[in-house]
Amino acid sequence: MRVVPPLTGHLDMALSNFTKGYRNAPMFQDRAFPRLPVLRRTDVYWVYGKENLQVTEQTLRAFGTPAAETRFTMSTENYNAHSNALKANIADEDRDTYTVGDMNMDTVAMLQDKNLLAREIRVKALMTTSGNYPADNVLALSSTSQWSDGANSTPQEDVADAKTRIRLTGQSANLFAVSEDVFNVLSVHPKLQAKFTYNVVTGPLDEVQLAKVLGVAEVFVCRAITNDGTATNDFLWSNFAWLGYVPPTVGAPGLLGGIGSEGRVGPKQLCFGKSFTWTSAPGTIDGYGVVIARHPDATAKSDIVGVDWYTDEKITGSDCGYLWTTPIATS
């Protein structure tokens, strides 16, 4: 065991890199809010106008006359990469009897799981708030229009209408995200299964088949689980359906990156949301830090392991997303 003198600590580079690259597969956060590295904790970011889609000037120029003049407009919004930190106490007695792995690494994984779950909760709050979208990009389904009504609802047409709205941004929707309860309904929807009449379907549609029917590149099922502090687990996402455009990110197939680069996006890429990650934060490696220190009270005979991560989630392109509220009926 490495001994750290009392009242001192150190940044553990190996565990910081482990934290930087740590991902929890069922979570939606890095798909909807890819990470944008920033050099300052708080700053402004540019919001560009839509002049590239406008031709209000005369482009034909008579010989000897100057060209028509135009320019793009810009405004600014603010971000603030907050510190998201947790710590745990590892008693010497526990460390000495722990025989199923590296206790430091397992502790860091637990802390980062909690950090990521907190981020997933923040992302859910942003994505399920109707006021965060243009009015035409939110549709409340009710009664027979809810997808749980297999005889009357039209999920394929609903998604097609939403794709038209997003196409007006200049990009095509490529990601359809649903909670597990909504996915379970759509996977057995008779009108969707009927599209595979000549391709034998022996059970519910999977994500690939559903994506093919709906004409999107990817279907993502949000499967994050939470615990209320007792023995009861529950789904974080429920009755949720969303369509949007997200750009290819570093770490995706065909795009190379280093440790923790997965889910990164560029500052000028159009995207529904971005996570501003302060990469030069003190005591971190690219914004992710693990500090190990001896407990200040020597009689505690324990180490303190702390995880820190600086990030802020912002909706940067609200018209790149489309939300269905109450897509299925609930009992």
What is the domain partition of the chain in residue ranges?
9-42+80-325
- Report the CATH superfamily, name and number, of domain 9-42+80-325: phage-related protein like domain (3.90.1690.10)
More confident residue, 143 or 201: 143
C-alpha to C-alpha distances, 309 to 118, 160, 206, 281, 295, nearest whole angstrom: 12, 39, 35, 9, 22
Mean pLDDT over residues 176-182, rounded? 97
Residue 204 has a pLDDT of 92
Instruction: Decide: pTM greater than 0.85.
Output: no
Residue 3's pLDDT band, with cuts at 50, 70 and 90, is: very low
What is the rounded distance in angstroms from the CA atom of residue 257 to the CA atom of residue 264?
Answer: 9
Residue 25 has a pLDDT of 57
Contact yes or no for 159/153 (Cβ under 8 A)? no
How many beta carbons lie within 10 A of that of residue 154, not counting itself?
15
Residue 15 has a pLDDT of 61
What is the rounded distance in angstroms from the CA atom of residue 243 to the CA atom of residue 212?
Answer: 14
Residue 71's pLDDT band, with cuts at 50, 70 and 90, is: confident
**DSSP state for residue 62 in the 8-state scheme:** -
Over 90: is that where the pLDDT of 70 sits?
no
What is the rounded distance in angstroms from the CA atom of residue 232 to the CA atom of residue 222?
Answer: 19
The residue count of the chain comes to 331
Amino acid at 77: E
List, in sequence order, every residue forming a beta bridge with 215; answer none if it has no partner: none
pLDDT > 90 fraction of the chain, expressed in percent and rounded: 56
